[in-house]
Amino acid sequence: MRRAIISDIHANLVALEAVLSELERQEVDSIYCLGDVIGYGPQPRECLAKSRSFELNLLGNHEEAVLYEPIGFNARAKSAVDWTKDQLRVAELTQDEKREIWNFLGDMPARHVEGDVLYVHGSPRDPTREYVFVSDIRNPAKIAEIFEAQEQRTSFAGHTHTAGVFTEDCEFLHPSQIGNRYQVGERKVLINVGSVGQPRDGDPRGSYVIFDGEIVEFHRVKYDVEEAIRRFRETPLPEELALRLIEGR
């Protein structure tokens, strides 16, 4: 079994198509998405259409915000949520098409468990909203509470757009430190798969992992950032949301 695990596409169709093309070459057996297919980016409907072929789509905080309210969102993120809602209700969509989109969003689970593996968007403690930042390794109490909430040996998450491995003893292992490979063992770990469409770790390439049940492989995929920015500029979305793609921040 070779499972691709992706997250945080954020309506960046150019990045998503590049990652999916790479996954075809990787010959993975399934694709799990950990949420935030939409939000921030210029092509939410197109990305949702692509994601419907995935074996799992979890609820991210941006899907949650579109369905309900954008709790804790800054002004730029909230404006993107409002614009995204409008794009999912445009007049050219039929009532059946609109219903399918909203039902798809509404059916997304917040968490998924398979044996000793947990899949969430945010954290084991709060599956849609809690961020687990690299800086949190300096907060042992928070890390301890997160792992206490994690009943499974291994969990996968996204949300912070920064790939790597968190351990119970307050380590964060950047993929470059471990040769882009990590073997799960007896100790609990939380593995962040990074972001397809809006990385924030200084590397603009899309991020994903492949998991075979024992080994986690971290991958990056170059995509046409300039084309993604051009598509942003065809919308009223804030310019900052586009320009941050250049530096992966």
C-alpha–C-alpha distance, residues 221 and 16, integer Å:
10
Q: Walk across the sheet containing 111-114 and list its strands.
A: 111-114, 117-120, 154-157, 189-192, 164-167, 172-173
Q: Which of 104, 103, 211 is nearest to 155 (CA)?
A: 211
Q: Which of 129, 209, 204, 197 is nearest to 173 (CA)?
A: 209
Q: What is the pLDDT along the chain (249 residues), one digit of tens a residue?
A: 899 999 999 999 999 999 999 999 998 999 999 999 999 999 999 999 999 999 999 999 999 999 998 888 998 899 999 999 999 998 888 999 999 999 999 999 999 999 999 999 999 999 999 999 999 999 999 999 999 999 999 999 999 999 999 999 999 999 999 999 999 998 999 999 999 999 999 999 999 999 999 999 999 999 999 999 999 999 999 999 999 999 888
Q: Which of 87, 91, 121, 117 is nearest to 102 (CA)?
A: 87
Q: Which of 159, 124, 156 is nearest to 142 (CA)?
A: 124
Question: 51: domain range?
Answer: 3-247
The first and second tokens of residue 249, run together, are 């921040």
Which regions of the chain does DSSP assign to beta strands (E)?
Answer: 3-6, 30-33, 56-57, 111-114, 117-120, 154-157, 164-167, 172-173, 181-183, 189-192, 206-211, 215-221
CATH number of residue 115's parent domain? 3.60.21.10
Do the bridges between strand 206-211 and strand 3-6 make them parallel or antiparallel, or are there none, so unpaired? antiparallel
The per-residue pLDDT for range 67-100, each reduced to its tens digit, is 998 888 998 899 999 999 999 998 888 999 999 9
The per-residue pLDDT for range 151-173, each reduced to its tens digit, is 999 999 999 999 999 999 999 99
Beta-carbon contacts of 56 under 8 Å, excluding residues fewer than 6 positions away, are: 30, 31, 32, 33, 112, 119
Amino acid at 158: G
Q: How many domains does the chain have?
A: 1
Mean pLDDT of the chain: 96
